Every structure is written in structure tokens, then in C-alpha cells.
Structure 1
């Protein structure tokens, strides 16, 4: 996708917002079996509906005294001990494969609830009682499209995701990083920020989202991870919200470059990278994704066999997206897709086919040489 093909919504004053409220799509039996097979379905001691029994809540303000979308949840003491003990056990499942030897070191410092967004998540703050160090994890409703988004992120991105499900409950690890909107405000113009390297990462992130059709990557739905390198810094953009995995009908909503919230990132790319560099970084990302597809091909095949038969969007949105992709790629095969799973699978296949063939040919040459 060329940056010049689609102007940012902040420049042309168009509606770039996704659907206000996405329907909940339950996990079907086939997806549940897939989760069990790959160790994602575990027995959890506390479920989402347990946390939802809030007695009252208090608004949470940031360090500048401004209201956030989060509220501190408070519970009846008869509920609190059960919830606290269960959340510590869930943290052990996430971090130590259920080993409770370290559980006496941990405590639940705070439970936060967010009524904003589709998943209405609970954010759990765990603290180490010996040294005050803290960590977070999330408890959400287990929506099927969100599960597909997490699995595709785990297999097709440079990142690995820890999460578990149990019936209608989803537990996700906290993904550390600087929220994208905060990065723009506080870090983008910092003299030590390598703008060229960051522009490169935004191009690659834009490509990853479009290839696997992850939507709604506005700046507050991803984080920036900064890693010191030999002479400078490396940057990694990581999605943190997977609610809009292949749900929307408009192609533009799968391109982070389009959202007005990301205008500063788009301008950064245009100021620091020429056309050849942009094409180079897009090609690099497609090559890396092709390697990931090859490495995860059996698990990916299992997932698509389920996803292609599942209902995770409306018929009108499916028809709209396949028509737009058909026109964009001049590929009438998109019109034969019956589900969002079909569209994601074809989008990956037709984009990465050449890269996958080159990988297969290289492997064949190595085997012949041996």
C-alpha cells in the first residue's frame, strides 16, 4: 500500500472512524477445540462475571489530574478474598505456568474497569510485596474475532502473545510500551528520537496490519517499544487492541496510515523516507511475514479452516470489503469469498505467494545439496 494512494483523514476531513459498537461473537465448538489443542484453554479460578459484581467504583485520574476512561472497582469483602486469591492464581498461570510457589510474594494492588470500547476490560495490578515491583494483566469477554486477532498476531507478527480463555472469559498479558498518542506528544520531537528508524517501523507496521486485516489501529490502540541498540535506538510498534480483526467493510480501516490520529506518523514517513525506501521496507516486512507463515503453516491452516467457516462480521461488511479489495488488487477471486476468514486467507496468499515460493525453492536447494 503506497502512502500517497490514500491521504490521511486528518488532511481531507473525512470520516475514518470504525463502527461504534461491534457485536459480540461467541467462540464456537471448533474454535474451542483449537484453543484446547494449542494450550490456550485453561481452567481459570475467577471469571469475567465474577469481576463484574462491582459494589461501587471510583474514577481514576492521570498524574496531571485529568479523568481517564478507567475506574477503580471496589467489592464487598465477602467477594474480595475469593477474587483476590483467584487473580493471583491467574497471574501464576500467565507467568509461571501455574506454579504457586511465588504466590505469597504477590498481592492485588488494584482492579480497574473500563466501560469504553467493546471488551469492557478489567485491568489487574499485581504487586510484589517484597520490593514494590508491579505488573498488569487484563480480563475481558472472550469474543471470537478478538481470539482470531490474537492468534494471527502470535503467528504473523514479530511478537508473541500470552493469553488464555475459559468459556466466555479471556485473560491477556499486559503488552508494555509507550501508547502511540503519548509517543507523539512526548517523544516524537525528542532530540534523541531517530525519526528515520521510527518512520521505517511505521511503514512495516502499516504493512503488517493490512496484510492480516487488523483494523482500528489508531494511535491509542498500539504502543511503541524502544530498545537501545549499538549506536542508537530500535523501535517496535505493537498492537494492543484486537477487537477489530477483519470486521469492518472499508479497506481504509485496515491501514494505520489513514487515521487522523496517526497523521503525525504519516508526515514523519513522508519527510524522512523516499519512495524507494518505503518500498524496500514493505518488501522486507512481506518477506519476514512469509517466513512466519512458512514456520506456522500447520497451525495457521488449522486456524483458517475454522475462521473461514465462522461468522465474525455482517454480510454487508463482507461484501463491501471483498469488492474493495477486488478493485484495489484487480483480483476477481475476492468476489468468491464467503466469510472474513476467506478474505484474510486470500489477502495473505495473493500478497505473499511469490515470497513463499522463493522460501520453498531455497529449502529445496538446501535439501538437494545435502
Structure 2
């Protein structure tokens, strides 16, 4: 596999993702999968309920600049209905529906984002006794996003907490420093360990490519910083899964190709040699294989469902199939793919094949 991070931005950068990706419906097979694994629950508020706001007011950050979010305002009857039931959803999300803690919780604010395919609502829940707050999101249920969340949950080091109810998707807030903020405010901090950060970006880049998670521009991921003995460790976490195996351009599944991530690519080039990059890529593929082995039946189940689901266009599928075949010099293998879901499964086998050979039970089950 090509492990070079050189000349990946600037004039050779990937084209931008589609400006408007369609919402793909949740088909019966995927719905049954969600039911089987406890992801489909009955919710007291739907996405459509939140759309009944009367007006919105732009929200500004602490520096007075407009954000992508607007505060939604509702009439009194709607607001009272939402306040009570949005707290109940928070209990479903955090305590498996235990309502004994909800009396000290309230809804501080409902924000709406016109930007993005899912047009999410962000719910701010506040503790009335100490003013501590938390967030979660209510979005339109999109099959692409659900597949992305599920693959991230199963194959990455991160656990994803989400639920669906018909056409509504509930997601836990993923804490961390937004990637674009980290680049602007933390890269020049003398306490930032650039070598460890470079290592994590290489691993993040590898994870996205292995299961074809696209559009990881800096504002679509967060950075977690953890103190560790005498220094810090870093974890980059995806927070936007709309572009799970939708686009046709291979480079859109490699975060290294986005101009928004150029500062991180420059750090990789400056601090890591090719052998180190190859080592970190191999480490991440090994860990992904271990995760696949521990969840092999569930991974196969979601990929089999994904293989029959029309989650992209024929043109994009053909383009990605051809570009991956050329990249891996394996046309005979990739030409067997008939759908985007099949392509994801083949991509996992292609990128993890050496590791899969070391786990015979995983390999035999994954080849079914």
C-alpha cells in the first residue's frame, strides 16, 4: 500500500464532496438489524416535531462570530411538550430509560443547523442544580449515516451511541476539540506533541480508507487530548458520517487529501519517515482486524445488508470501483463488485487481507 503523505494537497487535492447528498431511506432489512441490536427504540419526539419552530436566531461563538447554528424558538404549547420529552430522550440515551433522574434536568436550548445533509437539531440539556450541561442531536434517519455509525462502532477504537425511531435518528454528542479549531489554536502550542499527533493522523487516515468513510475535513472530526505520564496522547474521532461510501472519488476517503487538513499533513511529512508511516498504518490495520474478529458475525450481517442497499449512484459506484482497482492494481478482484456495499466489504478484505490470514475463523466467516 502506498504510504506516502507527500504532495497530497494543493494542486493535487481531491475534488470536494457533493454539495447535497440525498437522504437514503432505512430499508426493512436495516431496520430489522437495528431492532435486533437494540438501536431501534420508541421515542417521544420525532425529527418532524422539532421542525415546528416559529423562527430562528443566529448563534454566535464566544468571539462574536456567526456559527452554522441558529437558536430555534417555539410557541408555548410546543415548547412545553418538547421540554418534557426531550429530557426523556436524554434519559433513554444516557441511562437506558431510567426516568428517576429527570426531575433535575431541563432543556436549555434547541439549536438548528441549516448546513449539512441531515439538518440536525442540537439539544442542550442542563442540570438545574449545578448548571452543568450536555448535548445530543436529533437528525433525519439516513441509511448512509447509520452504516457509517455502525462501522465506526464496530471497527474503530470508538463506541458510538445512537438510536433510531422510524425516520428519526438520535446521536450522543462526541466530545473533543473540533479539528479546525485544533489546527488554528493548538498546533503552535509548545505543549502539543507533534510527533504523537502525526502518528494519530496517520492512523485516522488509515481507518477512514479501510471502511470508506468520506469527507473527513477538519470540521468533521474532533481531537481528544489525554494526559499520559510525562506527555499527552491524541485521538482523532469522526463526528460526521453522511459520506459513508457515497462518493466516487477514491481520494475523498483519505483525509490527507483535503486542503483543510494540510497543516496536519505537513506535520506528518516533517516528523515521520516512510518506515514510521508504514508502521503506524500496519498497527491500525492490525487493531481493526482484532475488532473485526471479535464482532465478525455482526460485521458480516451489516455488510450483507449494506450490499443490497442502494446507497449511492451507479456512476459514483463505477468510478470508485475503477479507482480502487487501479490503486491496488487488482482489477480482476474489484470488478466482481455489483453494489457500493459489496465494494466496502471487498475494501475491508483488500486492506486487511494480510492480517485476516492470521485469524482463520475471521477469514472463513468473512468470505461467506
TM-score range (shorter-chain normalised) is over 0.9
Q: Which residue of 2 aligns with 1:308?
A: 307
Q: Which residue of 1 aligns with 2:335?
A: 335
| Structure-2 change in CA distance of 1:309 and 1:361 (3 Å) | closer
Q: Which residue of 2 aligns with 1:344?
A: 344
Output the CA distance in 2 between the equivalents of 1:308 and 1:85. 40
SS in structure 2 opposite 1:189? coil
Q: Which residue of 1 aligns with 2:120?
A: 121
Output the CA distance in 2 between the equivalents of 1:161 and 1:104. 27
Aligned 8 A contact 1:3 1:257 in 2: no
Q: Which residue of 2 aligns with 1:238?
A: 237
Per-residue Cα deviation, 1:247-298 (whole angstroms, up to 9, x for no partner): 0000000000000000000000000001110000000000000001101100
Aligned 8 A contact 1:16 1:258 in 2: no
TM-score by length of 1: 0.96
Shift of 1:24: 1.0
Per-residue Cα deviation, 1:286-312 (whole angstroms, up to 9, x for no partner): 000000110110001110110000000
Unaligned stretches of 5+ in structure 2? 363-368
Per mean C-alpha deviation after superposition, the further-off stretch among 36-45 and 324-333 is 324-333
Per-residue Cα deviation, 1:169-223 (whole angstroms, up to 9, x for no partner): 0000000000000001110110000000000000000000000000000000000
Output the CA distance in 2 between the equivalents of 1:112 and 1:211. 34
Output the CA distance in 2 between the equivalents of 1:308 and 1:288. 24
Q: How many residues align?
A: 361
1:359 partnered with 2:359: yes
Q: Which residue of 2 aligns with 1:321?
A: 320
Shift of 1:66: 0.6
Shift of 1:86: 1.0
Aligned 8 A contact 1:6 1:258 in 2: no
TM-score by length of 2: 0.96
Aligned 8 A contact 2:248 2:315 in 1: yes
Aligned 8 A contact 2:5 2:269 in 1: no
Runs of 4+ that moved beyond 4 A: none
Aligned 8 A contact 2:203 2:284 in 1: yes
Aligned 8 A contact 1:47 1:169 in 2: yes
SS in structure 1 opposite 2:192? coil
Q: How does 1:8-19 map to 2 (within 5 A)?
A: 8-9=8-9, 11-12=10-11, 14=13, 16-19=15-18
Shift of 1:13: 6.3
Shift of 1:353: 1.9
Output the CA distance in 2 between the equivalents of 1:257 and 1:15. 9
SS in structure 2 opposite 1:312? coil
Unaligned stretches of 5+ in structure 1? 363-370
SS in structure 2 opposite 1:336? coil
Aligned 8 A contact 1:165 1:171 in 2: yes
1:66 partnered with 2:40: no
Output the CA distance in 1 between the equivalents of 2:87 and 2:256. 40
Output the CA distance in 2 between the equivalents of 1:119 and 1:300. 25
Q: Which residue of 2 aligns with 1:365?
A: none
